Amino acid sequence: MPEVQSSTQSDGQLTQRFIEFVMVQAQQAAFCLGKIPHPATGETAVNLEAARVFIDHLELIREKTRGNLSKEEDTILNKILAELQMTFVQVSGGSTESEKISTSSEAAVADHFEGKSADHDEDHKKKFSKSYGE
């Protein structure tokens, strides 16, 4: 049976570190959405696919920690996710092209883990969809 490691940090320190982690992920997403300029050049660039990855990571964290976060942690995580998702929709202009790209790559990954080949018949692939605009 695996050992449970006990933390030597207080709950306050863990909360602070969790919030810092969430903020770093949010800053990376904001950078990819062109909301934060590059520190060296001062220019902004939009990379919707990378932004989607960071937003999806935060959603994963929210799902996997459901019921285990303090009120403060839960509030901050939900607020940041809502803001990033709204910004994503605004920056993408509600574009479905990036969703099509993400959907096809997610299906390819799912097929890989299910042992299916990439040239498998399109009708037999699982369909994934994610929309931040709803």
**Residue-wise pLDDT tens digits, 10-39:** 888 999 999 999 999 999 999 999 999 988
Residue, of 85 and 104, whose pLDDT is higher = 85
User: Does residue 127 sit within a domain?
Assistant: no
Q: How many domains does the chain contain in total?
A: 1
Report which DSSP code applies to 4.
P
* 25 within domain boundaries: yes
Within 8 A by CB and 6+ apart from 127, the residues are 103, 107
Q: Between 125 and 51, name the one with better pLDDT.
A: 51
pLDDT of residue 117: 45
Q: What is the pTM of this model?
A: 0.64
The residues, ordered by sequence, that sit 6+ positions from 128 with a Cβ below 8 Å of its Cβ are 103, 106, 107, 110
Q: Does residue 3 fall inside a structural domain?
A: no
The residues facing 46 across adjacent strands are 33
In a domain, residue 91? The reply is: yes
Is residue 134 one of the residues assigned to a domain?
A: no
Question: Side chain identity at 44, as an amino acid letter?
Answer: T
Min mean pLDDT across 6-10, 84-88, 114-118 is at 114-118
pLDDT for the residue 109:
47
Is 22 a domain residue? yes
Which domain range does residue 22 map to?
A: 17-120
Q: Which long-range contacts (CB under 8 A, 24 or more apart) does 10-16 make?
A: 11/70, 15/70, 15/72, 15/73
> 75 lies in a domain?
yes
Asked if the model's pLDDT at residue 7 lies above 70, the reply is no
Residue 125 lies in a domain: no
pLDDT bin (cut points 50, 70, 90) of residue 131 is: low
Q: Which residue has the higher pLDDT, 102 or 7?
A: 7
